[in-house]
């Protein structure tokens, strides 16, 4: 039976981390002769280790990635001595499942292939909740939001709105858990940075798509260091001054630099890239903190980044174009 | 009837063996948990892991050695326990303290360094030797504690 100790957990994670793919290995996979050869090379590294030969024969990269991610999430869940904090990093999976289940219910279809196991909440619980429109078994933030969405669905369906509301619930839940635990570790830094960056990206998107302030307000996520009013005022701030306007709190400088780079280059993806790098840097800063949650979460998020990189690489290979790797942990 | 001095000398032996033993137990425990994590994923690393796990065990042995010398000097082995003055008892109690405190703390910290060495061994097995050297550095302070306790015990004239 696994022991709930950092020593044991980090021991297992240290060994498992040796199997993670770095930029060199990914390059080699990309440079293989064909997609099939790339996949064979990937499987040789031990990626998707629990696949049966029949599953491997299907040669579906998405399937392999999903299996590996589910295995990694399961291991992390099994070894973590701090399940409540670890669960916060798995909430994106739950958000995806909730959105998918709700859309599937509204369309009157089943969506078993798109659902992902290994989130913070059991998948069966989420299925029951959405099917019965009864969210009593979910935490407050999710329950209130889902009840609100159900009420709104009676008036009309706005997928963007309910997607944003579920994301908002995720960050409200994260904030309430961190406040309740009085946590001031890298976990708070990570989500605070993510909230601030996502809010800055929402302002940029809102301006590009000519959204009004009310719509922007819906997209803003709690838990960051920059006040919502600053983001909303950013809608009327000249673009050249937006970086300076958002330069508040400890994440402000980075956000400001990213926006200035966006203004100079006109490339909106720079914000996403900078955010991914900054988030990975938070995890790297605790990579060697051996008796803490740092290396465990680093492994989990590293596997997620690796999955993204593999999707990019196989997409590039099929499309015959050069890839740009997302930020890796390994 | 045992004198207060003799009782204090026994207490000196007890803290030396007891605290140093606790330090070793904690250190070996820390390294053992780290080792179990690594070996559960790669059983072939058991040999390297075992060496690193065993390193914090020496403090317990040093503590036992000091305790043994104290009780030997008291005449416990041949059955004629000496009646010590209070001053002699206090001196022997104090002689056991360096080993007790040094053993306790160095055992715990050596366990942590050994655990880090085990993680190093997991990631880069070829560097295990460096992990052992790093953990062995902590041993220096357990040896110094042993040395001073040994000199102090021998300095008490009974």
Q: Say yes or no for a CB contact (<8 Å) between A3 and B34.
A: no
CA separation for the pair A9, A297 (Å, rounded): 11
Give the residue numbers spanning the domain of B120.
4-153
In-domain check, residue B11: yes
Q: What does the pLDDT look like over B48-82, one tens digit per residue? A: 999 999 999 999 999 999 999 999 999 998 888 99
Please give the average per-residue pLDDT across A228-242, as a whole number.
92
pTM of this structure: 0.87
Q: Say yes or no for a CB contact (<8 Å) between A11 and B36.
A: yes
In this complex, the residue of A11, A18, A291 whose CB is nearest that of residue B37 is: A11
Please give the average per-residue pLDDT across A255-270, as a whole number.
91
Write the CATH number for A140: 1.20.1690.10
Measured between beta carbons, the chain B residues lying within 8 angstroms of A291 are 112, 115
User: How close does chain B come to A195, measured CA to CA in Å?
Assistant: 33
Q: Out of A67-71, A111-115, A212-216, which region has the weakest mean confidence (pLDDT)?
A: A111-115
For B27-65, letters b (16+ CB in 10 Å) and e give bbbbbbbbbbbbbebbeebeebbebbbebbbbbbebbbb
In this complex, the residue of B30, B38, B112 whose CB is nearest that of residue A15 is: B38
Domain final residue, candidates A267, A285, A303: A285
Q: Which residue's structure tokens are 């996520």?
A: A221
Q: What does the pLDDT look like over A98-132, one tens digit per residue? A: 999 999 998 888 877 788 888 899 999 999 999 99
Interface check B115 vs A, CB under 8 A:
yes
Q: State the total domains in chain B.
A: 1
ipTM at complex level: 0.86
Interface check B123 vs A, CB under 8 A:
yes
Probe site for chain A from B122, B127, B131, B135 (most A CB atoms < 10 A): B122
Looking at the structure, tell me whether residues A267 and A191 fall in a common domain.
yes
Domain final residue, candidates A142, A163, A181: A181
Please give the average per-residue pLDDT across A277-281, as a whole number.
94
Q: What does the pLDDT look like over A12-53, one tens digit per residue? A: 999 999 999 998 998 888 888 888 888 888 888 888 776 665
Chain B residue whose CA is closest to A80: B37
In-domain check, residue B158: no
Q: Say yes or no for a CB contact (<8 Å) between A7 and B42.
A: no
- pLDDT > 70 fraction of chain B, expressed in percent and rounded: 100
User: How close does chain A come to B140, measured CA to CA in Å?
Assistant: 23
Interface check B112 vs A, CB under 8 A:
yes
User: How close does chain B come to A12, measured CA to CA in Å?
Assistant: 4
Q: Number of A:B CB contacts under 8 A?
A: 58
Looking at the structure, tell me whether residues A144 and A233 fall in a common domain.
no
Residue B105 is predicted with a pLDDT of 97
Instruction: State the pLDDT confidence band at A54, using cuts at 50, 70 and 90.
Output: low
Q: Find out whether A307 and A69 touch, Cβ atoms under 8 Å.
A: yes
Looking at the structure, tell me whether residues A125 and A58 fall in a common domain.
no
Query: Secondary structure of B31-75 in the HEC alphabet?
Result: HHHHHHHHHHHCHHHHHHHHHHHHHHHHHHHHHHHHHHHHHHHCC
Looking at the structure, tell me whether residues A77 and A90 fall in a common domain.
no
Interface check B122 vs A, CB under 8 A:
yes
Give the residue numbers spanning the domain of A49.
1-81+293-330
Write the CATH number for A228: 1.20.1690
Q: Say yes or no for a CB contact (<8 Å) between B41 and A3.
A: no
Q: Say yes or no for a CB contact (<8 Å) between A7 and B30.
A: yes
What is the number of alpha carbons within 13 Å of residue B81 lying toward its C-beta? 14
Please, which residues 54-113 of chain A have a Cβ atom closer than 8 Å to chain B? 79
Q: With both helix axes pointing from N to C terminus, report the angle between A269-285 and A294-319 in degrees, rounded to the nearest 10.
A: 150
Q: Find out whether B93 and B57 touch, Cβ atoms under 8 Å.
A: no
Q: Say yes or no for a CB contact (<8 Å) between B33 and A3.
A: yes
Probe site for chain B from A6, A9, A13, A15 (most B CB atoms < 10 A): A15
Interface check A50 vs B, CB under 8 A:
no
Domain final residue, candidates A125, A147, A181: A181
Q: Say yes or no for a CB contact (<8 Å) between A290 and B42.
A: no
CA separation for the pair A280, A326 (Å, rounded): 11
Interface check A7 vs B, CB under 8 A:
yes
Looking at the structure, tell me whether residues A190 and A265 fall in a common domain.
yes
How many residues in chain A? 330
Residue A4, phi then psi, degrees to nearest 5: -85, 70
Interface check B87 vs A, CB under 8 A:
no
In-domain check, residue B81: yes
Write the CATH number for B111: 1.20.120.610
Measured between beta carbons, the chain A residues lying within 8 angstroms of B112 are 290-291
Write the CATH number for A311: 1.10.132
Residue A1 is predicted with a pLDDT of 45
B25: number of Cβ within 10 Å:
17
Please give the average per-residue pLDDT across B27-55, as a whole number.
95
Q: Find out whether A17 and A302 touch, Cβ atoms under 8 Å.
A: yes
Looking at the structure, tell me whether residues A164 and A194 fall in a common domain.
no
Measured between beta carbons, the chain B residues lying within 8 angstroms of A11 are 33-38, 40, 115, 118-119, 122
Sign, CA dihedral B20-B25-B31-B35, equals: positive
User: How close does chain B come to A4, measured CA to CA in Å?
Assistant: 10
In this complex, the residue of A3, A14, A291 whose CB is nearest that of residue B123 is: A14
Measured between beta carbons, the chain A residues lying within 8 angstroms of B38 are 11-12, 14-15
Q: State the total domains in chain A.
A: 3
């Amino acid at each position: 039976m696994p022991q709930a100790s950092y020593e044991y957990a980090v021991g297992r994670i240290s060994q498992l981390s040796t199997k993670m793919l770095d930029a060199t290995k990914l390059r080699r996979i990309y440079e293989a002769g064909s997609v099939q050869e790339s996949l064979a090379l990937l499987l040789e590294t031990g990626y998707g280790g629990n696949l049966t030969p029949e599953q491997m024969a299907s040669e579906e990269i998405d399937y392999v990635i999903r299996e590996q991610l589910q295995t990694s999430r399961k291991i992390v869940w099994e070894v973590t001595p701090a399940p409540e904090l670890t669960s916060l990093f798995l909430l994106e999976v739950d958000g995806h499942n909730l959105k998918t289940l709700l859309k599937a219910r509204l369309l009157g279809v089943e969506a078993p292939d798109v659902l992902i196991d290994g989130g913070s909440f059991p998948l069966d619980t989420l299925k029951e909740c959405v099917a019965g429109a009864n969210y009593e078994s979910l935490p407050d933030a999710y329950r209130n939001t889902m009840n609100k969405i159900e009420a709104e669905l009676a008036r009309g369906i706005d997928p963007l709105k309910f997607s944003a509301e579920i994301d908002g619930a995720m960050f409200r839940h994260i904030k309430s858990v961190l406040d309740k635990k009085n946590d001031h570790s890298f976990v708070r830094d990570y989500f605070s940075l993510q909230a601030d960056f996502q809010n800055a990206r929402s302002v940029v998107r809102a301006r590009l798509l000519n959204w009004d302030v009310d719509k922007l307000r819906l997209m803003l996520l709690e838990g960051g260091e920059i006040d919502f009013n600053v983001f909303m005022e950013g809608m009327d701030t000249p673009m050249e001054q937006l970086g300076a306007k958002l330069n508040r709190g400890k994440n402000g400088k980075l956000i400001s630099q990213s926006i200035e780079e966006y203004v100079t280059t006109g490339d909106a993806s720079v914000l996403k890239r900078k955010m991914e790098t900054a988030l990975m840097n938070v995890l790297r800063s605790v990579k060697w903190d051996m008796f803490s949650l740092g290396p465990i979460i680093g492994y989990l998020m590293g596997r997620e980044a690796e999955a993204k990189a593999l999707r990019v690489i196989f997409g590039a290979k099929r499309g015959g174009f050069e890839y740009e790797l997302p930020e890796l942990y390994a | 009837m045992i004198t207060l001095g003799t009782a204090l000398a026994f207490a000196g032996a007890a803290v030396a063996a007891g605290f140093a033993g606790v330090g070793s137990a904690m250190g070996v425990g820390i390294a053992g948990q780290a080792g179990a994590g690594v070996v559960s994923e790669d059983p072939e690393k058991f040999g390297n892991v075992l060496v690193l796990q065993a390193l914090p065990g020496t403090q317990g042995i040093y503590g036992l050695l000091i305790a043994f010398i104290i009780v030997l000097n008291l005449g416990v082995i041949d059955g004629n326990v000496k009646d010590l003055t209070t001053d002699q008892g206090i001196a022997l109690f104090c002689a056991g303290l360096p080993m007790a405190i040094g053993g306790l703390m160095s055992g715990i910290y050596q366990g942590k360094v050994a655990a880090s060495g085990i993680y190093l061994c997991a990631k880069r097995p070829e560097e295990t030797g460096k992990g052992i050297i790093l953990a062995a550095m902590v041993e220096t302070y357990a040896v110094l504690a042993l040395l001073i306790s040994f000199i102090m015990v021998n300095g008490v004239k009974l």
